[in-house]
Structure 1
């Protein structure tokens, strides 16, 4: 089981030393990224899109850390968009794409092969182009040659595509709003920036681990084989982003899914070797819930946290607790081998629907049923719940929480969240 050094998470000097490319600082700039991107989009002429004919379809090309841009656009446009929106990572460009369609290509460096090739082929066919990336890049050149709209990236978005999400996403949302594909006006994006500022303050490195929800979540994730599950479409996009950040930033592989479709697949894992009923010895599993508006202390462990008066809080007991149900005190880690890591279910819950609808009640009941099944199986349950707001504001809640948690997890494990030697080796071997 990975060992996370919790003391390191409260040491500002060590946090800075391990974080060689200021990932935490870049994540904290997310609100500023939104504001800067809005300014750059206006200067680039994003309003020109409002004067053009509505496209027949929209195709979004993005890969790697930028791929969530396509997922978010599909998510927000799907309920009421008058035209279809779909993602494409690379060539071939569908044969139906032509002058009546809009192609959106996103690449922080402006040199990612997939989006660049898609943009070049779209330009050759006469399609409308909206691109986001470095100003002095091949992508910018392709777009300008085709008389499209290219939005450059500012100083706040030059670290990596993982930490520059909002630099890349905000112009695309503005463009889609101008075309009438979704509802993301300037005031909504300002609300996103304010929510991201709030989360940056809440998750800041100087905030102690016992009151910082992102640090708490990092410690809990380190002790599990994580499964990230969204309670609906919005949570599903956030879950995919979370799995990507856990893998690329913290080097922790994670499965992800979205309710209701993934319910049976995720619940089937509760029968496997990483839960109490799946063959491992029964134990006591903690249950934690993180609400982003405040800190719910259920699930906090006594050796981690203390009451202000200095008294330890009582450790909650899960369904597998009780007389004769605790950890085997006779287990010998040398003879029996170390206990396998426990399965952890991280549920990303959307804000409650008000007033409730039959569909929302049914969805809530399914989420609760999955969580109950997980607890009874002995899995460790963690929850992150977004606060109220527009869909993109609620998504910002989840993305911020998991981005910071993955970064703290990497640092706590002694890893640099920005630099992976194996990724560097892979690049060298494929040049």
Structure 2
């Protein structure tokens, strides 16, 4: 049985605020402001000094938990044109090749995360250059200052969580990478990111009614499914990983994710599994492939079909799939006698903005994405699509991240959960101290 989501609650700003104990929605809405504040803090920290030195032999990024996406994004954006390798690292051991010619970037909102802190300390011991982002006065800041590196503080975001302070942590890293020539993220582009995040925050604000708020609409759809998430390429793949993490940590909903083209077969194989619409009914049930959202497809029927006795009509409408046990949901099933229906598989496809003019590679990618979506719909899978708006890579990525972050938060609240407080996570922390 699918979990119950209170749609009326999602349209009540006061109730949303009451159930959101640590103002997660407000923190997400501040993403554009985070970018602007981080630009100021990075400049004050002297991040431009990175350009005064020789380009490093390699760059290693240490981040864990809610901050780990910073490393993923830097890898994504730097990979196409970076003259040096960029690699993510969650914890020790630090690779043996890291030394004085390399740059280590360590990110932790509190400045106390064991993995990034240990990586930064070991990098400093080996004489590597350091760029750190975290709370001022934290152990991470102290390690960086002793190593004569560049530390960027986190300003107002220090009082939030790493999940909602993404742009506070990411922006200085993008600025530093731009100064080193690893990627193209000049000030005008980052200002566009801030503007796009502001636009999305306005569009998905709590006071925006559910029928026009894309995040609320998507949250309601996801609540009715067992979700899987696909990105249609590298950019969508990073966003899909973020969506999976946010759904799990914020809404407590597990959601496998992948990236096309590699994950196509793995995800499509689920379409004939126990949660797919055409694979979970009993022999002889109604063929759901002919009914969608209450509309009956009468293509190919003769007028006299409607005059036939019900038994004969149903026999005509049963297809081979139904007779073999692969029909869709039985709309005549009695939930009291037969039990609640299993939730339907849902595919959330995160699509990049169209490439203009199209290239052979973009056409091939679009063809594969469309094929996956067509296969999903024909299998009775609930399909949800989110398309990024136009702009530079990081601007389009910001589009996706805003949608999935707000969606996961609305989903949590609609399910009666506090998006920022998990008793089981608190128990785990207590047991591992």
TM over 0.5, shorter chain: yes
Structure with larger Rg: 2
Residue 358 of structure 1, aligned match among 346, 349, 360: 360
Q: Distance in 2 between matches of 1:31 and 1:411?
A: 23
Q: Who is 2:176 aligned against?
A: 175
Give the drift of 1:277: 2.6
CA pair 420-286 structure 1, distance change in 2 beyond 3 A: farther
Q: Who is 1:377 aligned against?
A: 379
Give the drift of 1:331: 1.3
Report if aligned partners of 2:62, 2:71 keep a CA contact under 8 Å in 1. yes
Give the drift of 1:333: 1.8
Give the drift of 1:330: 3.3
The gaps in structure 1 that reach 5 residues or longer are: 288-298, 302-313
Give the drift of 1:402: 0.5
Residue 402 of structure 1, aligned match among 391, 401, 404: 404
Q: Distance in 1 between matches of 2:388 and 2:93?
A: 38
SS at match of 1:105: strand
Q: Who is 2:195 aligned against?
A: 194
Q: Distance in 2 between matches of 1:261 and 1:397?
A: 23
Give the drift of 1:349: 0.3
SS at match of 2:337: coil
Report if aligned partners of 2:281, 2:330 keep a CA contact under 8 Å in 1. no
Q: Who is 2:321 aligned against?
A: none
Give the drift of 1:13: 1.3
Q: Who is 1:238 aligned against?
A: 239
SS at match of 1:334: helix
Q: Who is 2:209 aligned against?
A: 208
TM-score by length of structure 1 reads 0.91
Q: Who is 1:114 aligned against?
A: 115
TM-score by length of structure 2 reads 0.90
Q: Who is 2:147 aligned against?
A: 146
Q: Distance in 2 between matches of 1:379 and 1:32?
A: 38
Q: Who is 1:296 aligned against?
A: none
Q: Who is 1:386 aligned against?
A: 388
Q: Distance in 2 between matches of 1:69 and 1:127?
A: 20
CA pair 133-275 structure 1, distance change in 2 beyond 3 A: same
Q: Who is 1:277 aligned against?
A: 278
**Count of aligned pairs:** 405
The answer on 1:60 being equivalent to 2:61 is yes
Give the drift of 1:158: 2.7
Q: Who is 1:160 aligned against?
A: 161
The gaps in structure 2 that reach 5 residues or longer are: 300-315, 319-326
Q: Who is 2:330 aligned against?
A: 328
SS at match of 1:67: helix
Report if aligned partners of 1:284, 1:318 keep a CA contact under 8 Å in 2. no
Q: Distance in 2 between matches of 1:326 and 1:424?
A: 41
Q: Distance in 1 between matches of 2:407 and 2:296?
A: 23
Q: Who is 1:86 aligned against?
A: 87
SS at match of 1:82: coil
Report if aligned partners of 1:129, 1:146 keep a CA contact under 8 Å in 2. yes
Q: Distance in 1 between matches of 2:55 and 2:159?
A: 32
SS at match of 1:238: helix
SS at match of 2:95: coil
Deviations 1:178-201 (A, max 9, x none): 000000011110000000000000
Q: Distance in 2 between matches of 1:41 and 1:129?
A: 14
Q: Who is 1:264 aligned against?
A: 265
Q: Distance in 1 between matches of 2:155 and 2:50?
A: 21
Higher normalized helix content (fraction of residues)? 2
SS at match of 2:278: helix
Larger mean CA deviation between 150-159 and 10-19 belongs to 150-159
Q: Distance in 2 between matches of 1:427 and 1:61?
A: 21
Give the drift of 1:317: 7.5
SS at match of 1:335: helix
Larger mean CA deviation between 365-374 and 155-164 belongs to 155-164
Report if aligned partners of 1:78, 1:85 keep a CA contact under 8 Å in 2. yes
Report if aligned partners of 1:283, 1:378 keep a CA contact under 8 Å in 2. no
SS at match of 1:147: coil
SS at match of 1:346: strand
CA pair 318-153 structure 1, distance change in 2 beyond 3 A: farther
Deviations 1:11-58 (A, max 9, x none): 111101100000000000000000000000000000000001100000
CA pair 318-259 structure 1, distance change in 2 beyond 3 A: farther
